[in-house]
Amino acid sequence: MKHNMVDLVGQYKKIKPEVDGAILKILSEASFINGPAVKSFQKNFEDYLGVKHVIPCANGTDALQVALMALDLKPGDEVITTSFTFIATAEVIALLKLTPVLVDVDPDTFNIDPQAVEAAITPKTKAIIPVHLFGQSADIHTIKQIAKKHDLFVIEDTAQAVGADFTCPESGKTKKIGTFGHIGCTSFFPSKNLGAYGDGGAIFTNDDELAAKMRVVVNHGMTTRYYHDEIGVNSRLDSIQAAVLDIKLKYLDEYSKIRQEAATYYNNAFASSPKIKTPVTADFTTHVFHQYTLVLIDVDREGLMKHLADKGIASAIYYPVPLHLQKAYLDPRYKEGDFPVTEALSKTVISLPIHTELTPEIQKEITDAVLEFVEK
């Protein structure tokens, strides 16, 4: 492919001296685990997010698992999440023997529908995991109100939207997403907006008690060395990844801006095509475009992807199969047709390359190729 979904090499080249120096420093100190780089990144990320506690961990999936482990839930307790997300969100619920309860999404933003959340609440419901999909915030204000009314925990999955801002429609206050719920979780998978050079993740909270508990859980449930008060996991962010992230964090807002400009270019190019619905951003959030995702209207999607591939242009489908139709998650509670919005989206969405190294020249090639196919 000439144009891939991301260009991590191009991005690295621009920060190479800084990154190489930081990595070599860790090699020369052999401070691989829990070194000063981890503490530094933790502190800087807390400041960036405006949150009291960041707990670095090994990946975004662990972040979600540890968050759930900190809530002392019992097998069979229900956790509500969206049917249109990456599998990790439901996976950790199922792994902990909790019951994932899926709900449909909003057709414009692709994010979890708060009305559907409220309708799915039962006496067994203990938590809600909204996912801020593709780079914009779910309606976290309404979700928080519902959670408060029913005494539920909110864990935000902000793996795809780190850096986005949410403005509370009531107070008018703007804060980083991931800091509204009881716990926020994110991923530093290399292609995420704040990506490491390997795996990484973080959990954040303003709650001192939950923070203390999660710090113990990520470290084998250990309070004092070799005294284990509860069952934990081994989930650490290694120092090399922390050093890379500490550098990239300084550029995150700039990276978000480049993605937003690239999205605007695409939006303008597709604005007059009746076959393409461009992304809709809700008015309470900024959009950091982890993905740039179109909804196709009466277009042969496979044909379009092949047309693009023939021209060396990558495209992808996030996500081709809704959670309730995934083989490992088939459940007599659900059947095809239960989540019509998610099911329709899974058949009609397509994501185009979006990253920090796009240029108008590359984007023109991509938009010309898309329009050539859909308008033929």
Ligand X SMILES: *Cc1c(COP(=O)(O)O)cnc(C)c1O
**Contact residues for ligand X, defined by CB under 6 A:** 59-61, 85-86, 88-89, 131, 157, 159-160, 187, 189, 199, 201
Closest separation in Å from C-beta 187 to ligand X: 3
Closer to ligand X by Cβ: residue 60 or 353: 60
Q: What are 53's strand-pairing partners?
A: 205
- The DSSP call for residue 92 is H
Closest separation in Å from C-beta 85 to ligand X: 5
- Nearest-angstrom CA–CA distance, 227 and 354: 47
Closer to ligand X by Cβ: residue 118 or 199: 199
- Nearest-angstrom CA–CA distance, 2 and 309: 9
- Specify the pairing of strand 349-352 against strand 292-296: antiparallel
Under a CB-based contact definition with an 8 Å cutoff, are residues 126 and 77 in contact? yes
Closest separation in Å from C-beta 46 to ligand X: 19
Closer to ligand X by Cβ: residue 199 or 343: 199
> Cβ contacts of residue 115 below 8 Å, gap of 6+?
none
Of residues 128, 57, 47, the one with CA closest to residue 93:
128
Closer to ligand X by Cβ: residue 270 or 339: 339
Closer to ligand X by Cβ: residue 187 or 241: 187
> Cβ contacts of residue 184 below 8 Å, gap of 6+?
49, 51, 155, 156, 158, 177, 178, 203, 204, 205
Closer to ligand X by Cβ: residue 42 or 65: 65
Closest separation in Å from C-beta 189 to ligand X: 4
Closest separation in Å from C-beta 38 to ligand X: 17
Dihedral pair phi/psi, residue 111, rounded to 5°? -95, 160
Residue nearest to ligand X as judged by C-beta position: 60
Closest separation in Å from C-beta 372 to ligand X: 31
Closest separation in Å from C-beta 165 to ligand X: 18
C-alpha pair distances (Å), 366 with each of 10, 93, 259, 271, 289: 18, 39, 15, 15, 17
- Nearest-angstrom CA–CA distance, 226 and 128: 34
Closer to ligand X by Cβ: residue 131 or 299: 131
Under a CB-based contact definition with an 8 Å cutoff, are residues 18 and 217 in contact? no
